[in-house]
Amino acid sequence: MATMVFVNYPVKDVAASTKFYEALGFKKNEDFSNEQSSSMMWDDHFWIMLLNHDFYSQFLKDKKITDTKGQSGTLTAFSVESPDKVKQIAEAAKANGGDYFSVDMGIEEDQMYSLEVTDLDGNQFEPVWMAEI
């Protein structure tokens, strides 16, 4: 059985965040979504769960939600099929209220290409393409 990854992001507005991720190419899975959360599928193995703050807080015990506009709690990278797909996701993010930037890691773009993408709440993820080894 292949491993599935479910990344959980706290969001202020589930509906707005759902629309944002749909614009990037994610698909909403209605079976695992409700007013408090949206289950956004990239593919059968990678999902981003958008949880409103009240729902997300239930999983934190005595912790507080990080202000991801000014602090980082996690950086999630996931593979895509091409450098063009990386650019497409980043441009869609920017066109829909998010943003992106590049980090020079000293690796040639024909070996690996990625961009740092932020969503409406400042959650950050990294679509990445890597050449076949």
Q: What is the pLDDT of residue 133?
A: 63
Strand partners, 6: 47
51: CB partners within 8 A, 6+ apart: 8, 9, 10, 11, 14, 36, 37
The pLDDT tens digits for 52-90 are 999 999 999 899 999 998 998 888 999 999 999 999 999
118: CB partners within 8 A, 6+ apart: 93, 98, 99, 100, 124
Domains and CATH numbers, the chain: 5-53+74-130 (3.10.180.10)
The pLDDT tens digits for 20-58 are 999 999 999 999 999 999 999 999 999 999 999 999 999
Full-model pTM: 0.89
Residue with tokens 């400042």: 122
Name the band, by pLDDT with cuts 50, 70 and 90, for residue 12: very high
**63's tokens:** 């912790």
